[in-house]
Structure 1
Amino acid sequence: MTLKDLPATTVAATEPAATEPATHREPTVRIAIASGVGTILEFYDFAIYGTATALVFNKVYFNVSDPWLGTFLGFATFAIGFLMAPIGAALFGQFGDRYGRRTALATAFVMMGSATLIMGLVPDSRSIGIAAPIILVFLRMVHGISRGGEIGGAVTMAAEHAPVHRRGLYGCFVTLGSPVGAILANIAFALVLLLPMDQVIAWGWRIPFLVGGVVLVIGIWTRMRIADTPAFAEADKKAKALEDADEAPIPSGLAVLRTDWRNVAKTAGINIGQNCYAFLFFTFMLSFLTEVAPGRGFSRSSVVWGITLALVCHAATVVLSSHLSDRLGRKAVVGFGMATSIVFAPILFAVAAHGSLVACITVICIGFALTGFIYGPMFTLFAEMFPVRQRYSGVGVGYQVGAIVGGGIAPLVANRIVAVTGSVVPVGFYAAALMIVSLCFLLRVRESAPLAVGKTLRERIGR
């Protein structure tokens, strides 16, 4: 049996082992920086936007008589970024799968960072009226498109540079970008909140957006210093050889939507629950715990620092679960995180409704830690579901579609649930329901970690 004769799902899991001995690999530290710095900026940008939406945008850009409605309008623009992300995943994925990962990733990175910098300069609605939220929405659309191009490429770069038996651990270079970026965003806002609130609203909130420019410069420098992946170089060589021989080329890019749409759907489904959980914790909880009514009215600064601690817990379990997935299997580790999150979600929101600030932060720490078991190995699992020439597109589009259904609308839905019922407790059952959906999709995926299936990838090719 040849590599060409294998089905797409098998090729996805096997190809790197075949090329690994003959190709040059970048140093681990360089891969870690190049893969991680983009996702750090991505999640920093998304996190500061979500934090600003929860804390100040209802007073700066969406100043209406009902602050909870103003927060809802801000969350609506937050969701727009998610709606645009699949478009970015499709555009950048097509380019990255046909012409290489590096240029596509660098372009997405520049777009994301530039949009964030400009957001920090947009005048408020009192200065330029309706033009202010319109400009903000446009920049949020650019955010979404560039985010769609970033995550699939970063995952692909890390997975394809990784030694086959350490692919799960290398995957945490990307997944750590989420908590690290969010931690940096929270620290930035926590420091800003040391100012009097009127100064925060007037100009202080802009500082975290402008700081993103520093990360942008660092990221461009690191991304352009790394070569394309060995797996892509090998696959590209094979594709060109087929074209020279007048044979049918290997399908690439968005052909994955036709040839392997089931795995795209599984990728989206697996991401729904985790993404819902993450943005309920990080974005919705900020508004609920800090707003006086119908929220809890806790100190903004205390809540921001508390969620920062929860993100540290999340980062720790991301690293642990990524390592465990190489030994126990991706499905086992991700499944554990999903099952425990399903049970814990109603408890978490019940405590958020009635508990003290310390109790609320404690349950959010536990919830974030549980989702770390999902998020750590998740992208490595996704990468192993697709062949090289369709991996950027498959991972990017699948992940972003799931992010819309999960995280993109979660703060909106939660906001309306509280507005209608007067209680945050039902939000826990909403989060649990979406996690059950994700668990059902996970059960439909085959295990791909080499040690977990009891044979090396090279042996699987030989069969």
Structure 2
Amino acid sequence: MNSSQNRRRAGIASMIGTTIEWYDFQIYGLSAAVAFDKVFFPEMDSATGTIASFAIFASGFFARPLGGVIFGHFGDRVGRRNVLLITLILMGISTFLVGLIPSYASIGIAAPLLLVLMRLLGGIGLGGEWGGAVLLSVEHAPTGKRGFYGSLPQLGSPAGFLLATSVFAIVSAATGDAFGTWGWRIPFLLSGILVVIGIVIRFAIPETPIFEQQSNDDAAQRKIPIVDLFRTHPKTVLLSIGSFAVTSGGYYVYATYMVAHGTKDLGIPRNTMLISGIVFSVFGIVGSLLSGVVSDRIGRRPVFLVMSAFTILFAFPMFWLVHTTEPIAIWVALALGGLSNGSLYGLMGSLSSEIFHPSVRYTGASIGQQVSAGLVGGTTPLIVTALVADVGQTWPAPLWLVSLALISLVSVLFLPETYRSDPVSTPTKRHHSPV
């Protein structure tokens, strides 16, 4: 197989693999928003049960940095490809088993405890998945197209959410009132089929040429990646964590909190909000691809800074549109939200890998994304729901989104420009954009 075929297959395999992974993760978020309060916390009122469901959702995010460290270590030492097969299997098994957990009415407190265990295992798997998928694509990319290739695995997030939301909408319509009792299990059980497909696709992809080049360096092989990472890139790690804030946390304002807020607080029909999720995902895919292509021409930082500023300016207007409860206004709001969030997330595939040396790249990219996810990703639905309930108004939700976008904007201002950097070295300040 020639190099161009390897590149295409690596990009496609990364995209399909992350789509499956994010489908697995998203169906939990949707279930937590619309069903888990009754299934696993029936003795609580609706608001408290939803907060408890989101707390378990957050537990999966707390496990993701651990997955990033574990699988990042082996990804930097033994290769990207083999580690990605393991993370996909771990994520798939844990998600499939959620669909088989009995309800609280059947086994009592053991039900939510089993749910926590599955979320922890799934979080560890996803923690190691993202960094490897990005590197599989970026390290196969031709010169001048790392932004585009880096955006392909990023499509997995909106594509996975699109798939999850579509399946939920279909299952919800088909099962009707039974959705809250057993219908929600179907999307989890279907994940088993998707994982088998992902394993077959990834198994056929060769190791990245950049890793193979690095693996010939005996000195690099003797290193402990996480130790070397913090010795050589301490500031970059912190800035990487901050740069992910708007995508790690902001995404769940749009994709998870908004579903719960619309259905439970505003009385918007569930299918209307599920359709808004589909709209958000479609425009997220468009934004990811566009930002990747444009960043290959003008740089990562200019695109990121502009879209971060747009997120800040649009946060409150987006909620105003949703509060009209008019379907068209809601869908327009989520379309623009998806475009901005997708554009930012699409950039992170190339940016977060280019700022680290190849010998610690898997570990560095994984820790940046997963620590950010642990801090503000899974906690966002929980924090925002609790704040809104405490003050009795909605303004904490868009304010939280603004705060996350500001953190990311400032972080990227201090990172070097990387779109023209050497993929086998660490970028320096001479690559800064004039922005």
**TM-score normalized by the length of structure 1:** 0.88
Partner of 2:433: none
Judge conservation of contact 1:239–1:250 (CA < 8 Å) in 2: no
Q: Does 1:239 align with 2:234?
A: no
Q: Does 1:363 align with 2:346?
A: no
After TM superposition, give the deviation of residue 24 of structure 1 in Å.
5.0
After TM superposition, give the deviation of residue 362 of structure 1 in Å.
1.5
Judge conservation of contact 1:97–1:253 (CA < 8 Å) in 2: no
What whole-Å deviation, never above 9, does each CA across 1:313-332 have from its counterpart, x for those lacking one?
A: 11111111110010010001
Query: Given the alignment, which residue of 247, 270, 277 partners 2:243?
Result: 270
Query: Given the alignment, which residue of 35, 52, 59 partners 1:73?
Result: 52
After TM superposition, give the deviation of residue 361 of structure 1 in Å.
2.4
After TM superposition, give the deviation of residue 254 of structure 1 in Å.
4.6
After TM superposition, give the deviation of residue 306 of structure 1 in Å.
1.9
After TM superposition, give the deviation of residue 275 of structure 1 in Å.
1.8
Judge conservation of contact 1:25–1:230 (CA < 8 Å) in 2: no
Judge conservation of contact 2:248–2:369 (CA < 8 Å) in 1: no
After TM superposition, give the deviation of residue 264 of structure 1 in Å.
1.2
Q: Does 1:190 align with 2:157?
A: no
Partner of 2:67: 88
After TM superposition, give the deviation of residue 456 of structure 1 in Å.
11
DSSP 3-state at the match of 2:307? helix
Q: Does 1:204 align with 2:174?
A: no
Instruction: Point out where structure 1 has 5 or more consecutive residues left out of the alignment.
Output: 1-22, 244-248
Judge conservation of contact 1:90–1:397 (CA < 8 Å) in 2: yes
Q: C-alpha separation between the residues in 2 aligned to 1:299 and 1:353?
A: 13
Judge conservation of contact 2:147–2:292 (CA < 8 Å) in 1: yes
After TM superposition, give the deviation of residue 34 of structure 1 in Å.
1.8
Partner of 1:9: none
Query: Given the alignment, which residue of 351, 356, 364 partners 2:321?
Result: 351
Q: Does 1:315 align with 2:294?
A: no
Structure 1 residue identity aligned to 2:24: D
Judge conservation of contact 1:86–1:401 (CA < 8 Å) in 2: yes
What whole-Å deviation, never above 9, does each CA across 1:192-247 have from its counterpart, x for those lacking one?
A: 1113543112211111111111110011111111111100011110236x88xxxx
Query: Given the alignment, which residue of 386, 391, 397 partners 2:367?
Result: 397
After TM superposition, give the deviation of residue 260 of structure 1 in Å.
1.1
Partner of 2:38: 59
Structure 2 residue identity aligned to 1:181: G
Write out aligned runs for 1:298-447 (5 A).
298-447=268-417
Judge conservation of contact 2:287–2:340 (CA < 8 Å) in 1: yes
RMSD of aligned C-alpha atoms? 2.1
Q: Does 1:123 align with 2:93?
A: no
Deviates more, 1:42-51 or 1:301-310: 301-310
Structure 1 residue identity aligned to 2:257: F
DSSP 3-state at the match of 2:415? coil
What whole-Å deviation, never above 9, does each CA across 1:292-315 have from its counterpart, x for those lacking one?
A: xxx101111121012201210111
Q: C-alpha separation between the residues in 1 aligned to 2:181 and 2:224?
A: 52
In our comparison, the structure showing a higher alpha carbon Rg is 1
* Stretches (4+) displaced over 6 A: 455-458
After TM superposition, give the deviation of residue 427 of structure 1 in Å.
1.3
Judged with a 3 Å threshold, the aligned counterparts in structure 2 of structure 1 residues 69 and 231 are, in CA distance, closer, same or farther, namely same
Q: C-alpha separation between the residues in 2 aligned to 1:199 and 1:269?
A: 42
DSSP 3-state at the match of 2:145? helix
Partner of 1:11: none
Q: C-alpha separation between the residues in 2 aligned to 1:142 and 1:26?
A: 34
After TM superposition, give the deviation of residue 431 of structure 1 in Å.
1.0
Q: C-alpha separation between the residues in 2 aligned to 1:392 and 1:457?
A: 13
Q: C-alpha separation between the residues in 1 aligned to 2:25 and 2:191?
A: 11
Q: C-alpha separation between the residues in 2 aligned to 1:359 and 1:173?
A: 29
Judged with a 3 Å threshold, the aligned counterparts in structure 2 of structure 1 residues 25 and 237 are, in CA distance, closer, same or farther, namely farther
**TM-score normalized by the length of structure 2:** 0.94
Write out aligned runs for 1:39-188 (5 A).
39-188=18-167
DSSP 3-state at the match of 1:165? coil
Q: C-alpha separation between the residues in 2 aligned to 1:25 and 1:250?
A: 32
Judged with a 3 Å threshold, the aligned counterparts in structure 2 of structure 1 residues 447 and 323 are, in CA distance, closer, same or farther, namely same
After TM superposition, give the deviation of residue 60 of structure 1 in Å.
0.5
State the aligned residue count. 427
Q: C-alpha separation between the residues in 2 aligned to 1:202 and 1:354?
A: 31
Partner of 1:7: none
Q: C-alpha separation between the residues in 1 aligned to 2:99 and 2:175?
A: 19
Judge conservation of contact 1:26–1:226 (CA < 8 Å) in 2: no
Judged with a 3 Å threshold, the aligned counterparts in structure 2 of structure 1 residues 232 and 353 are, in CA distance, closer, same or farther, namely same
Percent identity at matched positions? 36
After TM superposition, give the deviation of residue 339 of structure 1 in Å.
0.7
After TM superposition, give the deviation of residue 356 of structure 1 in Å.
2.5
Deviates more, 1:359-368 or 1:103-112: 359-368
After TM superposition, give the deviation of residue 65 of structure 1 in Å.
3.7
Q: C-alpha separation between the residues in 2 aligned to 1:254 and 1:184?
A: 38
What whole-Å deviation, never above 9, does each CA across 1:419-457 have from its counterpart, x for those lacking one?
A: 01112123111210121011110100111112xx8x999
DSSP 3-state at the match of 2:244? helix
Q: C-alpha separation between the residues in 2 aligned to 1:157 and 1:457?
A: 14
